């Protein structure tokens, strides 16, 4: 019997396990997960903390029991501590501390990412938390329930602003700190400034261009220390709860220890079938997906790391299909993402103006201001759409949106589809997009932006 | 001085006038409009009647005075009653009843459409109204203010369902009648059935497969008659207000009388620069746009009539640019449209399953049911996405959406962009669409639908 061993029981790993087992019931699939959960939505944690989602169990897409019923041998609280590609084995530490060695015909690495950590003094004090796994969300909720009043969020990216909203809605005073010039460093600064204004408008204090130097702490009765403030070059911010949203780095320690090659962006490099490339003795038998791998950026034509559930699940499906003997390929990414801070929605895809220049493009950008609905409709909110196009070809390289009220940010998918297809600004301006007063002004803001950047292209 | 005469002062005509004058201030531009308004949003009338929009004046994009300040000679209440292509003149009836003949170097026909009318007995009784111009909306509001309680809407297309919602929100009992099997004949019936359910769920009575045979009327004091009921083969429906939403036919009487050729779909046929084609003595000098022309359906490769403000405005821009000496082209349509009935949003683009078969395609369709947000989010509403693809190539031919809560229908624009670009179902399934719990399930419903239809393509 062919045995597949999966390391990591979240999106990529369990998608691979499920897809492989569904297509090839004769495969033996063992999945090792060091934690207690499988297939949960990490992206949902901020909404659980905010109170939108009542129970952590709602975030579980598929429980270990459900996976087992489908024939996947899920082993929880069992951490893989070593990989031997030459022997085709992994060594796992069982819940009781003993170690077992298990052989595999195919190995799927889905070890995820480690949340970025500040190693400044006090970083391990109680009350300094990150947001990656379900226990992290529970710890934050526990801090809130214990009466935390002043939260500092370190990092104003996706997780940072989502947690800022969540904590604000829980009644805490919230300060957000970021090293960049504006919140949401994946947006160009001219759009990031509107994110900042929206955050400040909601009562969130935003401090940018600041570095965290240390955490102030006070002794706890139990002999430990608890955070009381965040020390920066811009002063000290009082805090009884600190949430770090500092992005994530591919968790590749195991792979590196096993001699598997790590790419320039810090993740495992795979081919488009998700096989780990490079010179190693199990070539063609080691697969990897999810936050631990690098993905191909189709526009910049380089490898990047993007910790996102959609990519992880796509990787898993691709790996599972290939394990089942099909020929499935991951097509790469263009960096599409959405989020919101209270009523301000944010979307982005492709290359920003600065990223386009960094990638060597001679690019032209234009931003339009419009409304999400016909201007005379009561729900019409302001929306800004920025498009970036290649000067020589007119091809849309990317787009960014900030706007108020529902329906602003999801328009990024139209731009993403245009970027994916290589449409020029003129062509995008021509597309027959939908119009009715409750949905759009006569000219959809995306059409207006395409027309504006086309005009600048001359 | 080169003189441009525009016939019709709404979207297409005034866009052409504005665009031409802006680019070529030396042009003399005269616009004849038989009514009292210019450049109004007919699409907004249902929302004015519903109470979303306080004043009709909010629906005016640009008033006659604004056009005049931009140098366009707008002549209101002045109806063009004759065109002489050989002489290069129009004859206009002035507000005082006198007639004037005006010469032109270029003529722009933007005569719009006539609302479909029932010519059954009683059709001209008071209380039988249509929805096309601002006075129509005022007449409906007047009827509501006069205490109308029972409305019958004839026709369950865009206007019909929008007016049904408007009248329901005004507190009337509403019955909608339609000849088709389901409301929204531009959707396939398997999606139309959900529109029907939503309408019925809101308390709207829906009767399909019925023909209106007559209007019951009662004498009014003034010697006229007022509607009291709608007689159909399925019984008589009491009504003190009847609103007809029966679509529109190109208003081409003037053009036909002038010997200009009319296309098979009943509109003026133009080339892609919006010049009226065919054998006529002013070839190259007569332009037409808006609801009075036929447009090229890019997918079915045939000419159709689509009364929609976006196309009219695009035509106007194209005509104006060409009059100013540029080379602008209208790229054709794919039939993208959105609307809603209360909380149910509806979108469609390209060819439906039946239309694809009618157009000679061997097509495959698939419908998925999903949610507008992550299933665990409180605002998640049900959404159905149907995609139609060509069997041989996998190319997406069209899509249809019905779904609840904001953000369902506008997803049609992603499908429209895919149809426009000729993406296959597999390719659409690969596109890097955005995901975050408040915006989408992990797999956007469009991605799911693309995957499902791709699977059926084999």
Instruction: Give B-chain residues touching A374 at CB under 8 angstroms.
Output: 41, 43-44, 47
B22, B383, B438: best to mutate for the A interface, most A CBs within 10 A: B438
In SS3 terms, chain A reads as CCEEEEECCCHHHHHHHHHHHHHCCCCEEEEECCCCCCCECHHHHHHHHHCCCCCHHHHECCCHHHHHHCCEEEECCCEEEEEECCCCEEEEECCCCCEEEEECCEEEECCCEEECCCCCCCCCCECEEECCCHHHHHHHHHHHHCCCCEEEEECCCHHHHHHHHHHHHCCCEEEEEECCCCCCCCCCHHHHHHHHHHHHHCCCEEEECCCEEEEEEEECCCCCEEEEEEEECCEEEECCEEEECCCEEECCHHHHHCCCCECCCCCECECCCCEECCCCCCCCCEEECHHHECEEECCCCEEECCCCHHHHHHHHHHHHHHHCCCCCCCCCECCCEEEEECCEEEEEEECCHHHHHHCCCCEEEEEEEEECCCCCCCCCCEEEEEEEEECCCCEEEEEEEEEECCCCHHHHHHHHHHHHHCCEHHHHHHCCCCCCCCCCCCCCHHHHHHHHHHHHHC
**Pairing label, strands A344-350, A337-341:** antiparallel
CB of A371 within 8 A of CB of A420?
no
| Distance of residue B45 Cα from the nearest chain A Cα, in angstroms | 10
Residue B406: what pLDDT? 82
Specify the domain boundaries for CATH 3.30.390.30 within chain A: 345-457
**How far off is chain B from A340, nearest CA to CA, in Å?**
8
| Domain B3-35+57-113+248-323: CATH superfamily, name plus number | FAD/NAD(P)-binding domain (3.50.50.60)
- pLDDT of B279 reads 87
CATH code assigned to B117-244:
3.50.50.60
Q: What is the pLDDT of residue B392?
A: 97
Two tokens, residue B384: 């159905």
Q: Which of A47, A336, A434 is the closest to B337 by Cβ?
A: A434
pLDDT tens digits, B37-79: 998 899 999 999 999 999 999 999 999 999 999 999 999 999 9
Judged by average pLDDT, the poorest of A92-101, A159-168, A356-365, B404-413 is B404-413
Question: Buried b / exposed e across B119-136, counting CB within 10 Å, b at 16+?
Answer: eeebbebbbbbbbbbbeb
CATH 3.50.50.60 residue ranges for chain A? 3-35+58-113+249-323, 117-244
Catalytic positions of B are 43
- CB contacts of A333 in chain B (<8 Å) are 432
Binned at pLDDT 50, 70 and 90, residue A1 comes out as confident
Lowest mean pLDDT among A55-59, A141-145, A404-408, B293-297: A404-408
pLDDT value at residue B249: 95
Q: Are A158 and A245 in contact (CB under 8 A)?
A: yes
Fold topology of A3-35+58-113+249-323: FAD/NAD(P)-binding domain (3.50.50)
Judge residue B203's burial from the number of C-beta atoms within 10 Å of its C-beta, 0-12 exposed, 13-18 middle, 19 or more buried.
exposed
Q: What rounded mean pLDDT belongs to chain A?
A: 96
Q: Give me the catalytic one of A43, A244, A342, A421.
A: A43
A-B contacts (CB, under 8 Å): 188
Looking at chain B, which residues constitute the CATH 3.50.50.60 domain(s)?
Answer: 3-35+57-113+248-323, 117-244, 338-457
pLDDT at position A458 over 90: no
Q: What value does the mean pLDDT take over residues A245-261?
A: 95
Q: Is there a contact between B417 and A412 if contact means CB atoms under 8 Å apart?
A: no
Rounded to a whole number, what is the distance in angstroms from the first to the last CA of chain B? 63
| Pairwise CB contact (< 8 Å): B432 & A333 | yes
Measured in angstroms, the CA of A272 and the nearest CA of chain B are apart by 13
Q: Is B436 left (phi over 0), alpha (psi -120 to 50) or beta?
A: beta
In a mutagenesis test of the B interface, which of A55, A417, A451 is the best target, namely the one with the most B β-carbons within 10 Å?
A417
Give tens-digit pLDDT for A202-246. 999 999 999 999 999 999 988 899 999 999 999 999 999 999 999
DSSP state of B219: E
How far does the CA of residue A453 sit from the closest CA of chain B (Å)? 17
Confirm whether the ipTM is greater than 0.90.
Answer: yes
Q: Give pLDDT tens digits for A64-83.
A: 999 999 999 999 999 999 99
| Placement of tokens 């190109």 in the chain | B250
Distance CA B458, CA B451 (A): 11
Alpha-carbon distance of B157 to B339, in angstroms, equals: 10
CATH of domain B338-457: 3.50.50.60
Nearest CA in chain B to A60: B376
**Residues facing residue B218 across a β-bridge:** B226
Which of A334, A339, A436 is nearest residue B432 as measured by Cβ atoms?
A: A334
* The pLDDT of residue B223: 87
**Model confidence at A279: pLDDT above 90:** no
Q: Which of B413, B435, B441, B452 to mutate to test the interface with A (most CBs of A within 10 A)?
A: B413
Whole-number pLDDT of residue B222: 81
Distance from the Cα of B448 to chain A's closest Cα (Å) equals 12
Is the CB of A313 less than 8 angstroms away from the CB of B376?
no
DSSP SS3 for B225: strand
Sequence-ordered alpha helix ranges (H) in B51-157: 64-69, 134-145
At A221 the pLDDT is 83
CB contact under 8 A, B434 and A337: yes
Closest chain A residue to the Cα of B310, Cα to Cα: A442
Q: Which residues of chain B have pLDDT under 50?
A: none
Six-digit token string for A208: 């940018």
Q: What fold is seen in the domain A345-457?
A: Enolase-like; domain 1 (3.30.390)
């Amino acid at each position: 019997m062919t045995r597949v061993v999966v390391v990591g029981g979240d999106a990529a790993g369990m998608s691979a396990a499920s897809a492989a087992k569904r297509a090839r019931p004769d495969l033996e699939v063992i999945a090792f997960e060091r934690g207690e959960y499988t297939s949960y939505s990490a992206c949902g944690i901020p909404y659980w903390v905010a109170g939108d989602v009542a129970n952590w169990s709602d975030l579980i897409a598929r429980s270990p029991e459900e996976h087992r019923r489908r024939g996947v041998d899920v082993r929880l609280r069992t951490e893989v501590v070593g990989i031997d590609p030459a022997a085709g084995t992994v060594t796992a530490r069982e819940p009781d501390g003993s170690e077992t060695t298990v052989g595999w015909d195919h190995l799927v690495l889905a070890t995820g990412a480690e949340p970025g950590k500040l190693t400044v003094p006090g970083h391990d004090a109680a009350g300094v938390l990150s947001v990656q796994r379900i226990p992290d969300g529970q710890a934050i909720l526990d801090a809130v329930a214990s009466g935390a009043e002043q939260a500092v969020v370190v990092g104003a990216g996706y997780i940072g602003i989502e947690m800022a909203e969540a904590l604000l809605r829980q009644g805490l005073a919230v300060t957000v700190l970021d090293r960049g010039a504006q919140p949401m460093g994946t947006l160009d600064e001219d759009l990031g400034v509107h994110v900042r204004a929206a955050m400040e408008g909601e009562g969130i204090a935003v401090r940018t261009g600041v570095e965290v130097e240390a955490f102030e702490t006070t002794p706890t009765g139990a002999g430990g220390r608890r955070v009381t403030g965040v020390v920066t070059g811009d002063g000290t911010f009082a805090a009884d709860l600190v949430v770090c949203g500092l992005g994530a780095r591919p968790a590749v320690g195991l792979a590196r220890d096993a001699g598997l090659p790590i790419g320039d962006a810090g993740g495992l490099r795979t081919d488009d079938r998700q096989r780990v490339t490079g010179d190693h003795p199990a070539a063609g038998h080691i697969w990897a997906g999810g936050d631990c791998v690098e993905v191909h950026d189709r526009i910049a034509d380089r490898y990047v790391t993007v910790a996102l559930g959609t990519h992880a699940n796509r990787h898993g499906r691709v790996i599972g299909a290939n394990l089942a003997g099909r020929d499935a390929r991951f097509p790469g990414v263009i960096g599409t993402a959405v989020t919101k801070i209270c009523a301000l929605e944010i979307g982005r895809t492709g290359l920003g103006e600065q990223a386009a220049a960094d990638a060597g493009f001679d690019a032209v950008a234009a931003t339009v201001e419009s409304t999400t609905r016909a201007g005379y409709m009561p729900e019409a909110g302001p929306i800004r759409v920025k498009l970036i196009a290649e000067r020589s070809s007119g091809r849309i390289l990317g787009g960014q949106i900030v706007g108020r009220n529902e329906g602003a940010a999801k328009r990024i998918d139209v731009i993403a589809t245009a970027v994916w297809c290589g449409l020029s600004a003129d062509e995008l301006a021509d597309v027959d997009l939908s119009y009715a007063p409750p949905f759009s002004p006569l000219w959809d803001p995306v059409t207006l932006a395409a027309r504006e950047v086309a005009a600048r292209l001359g």
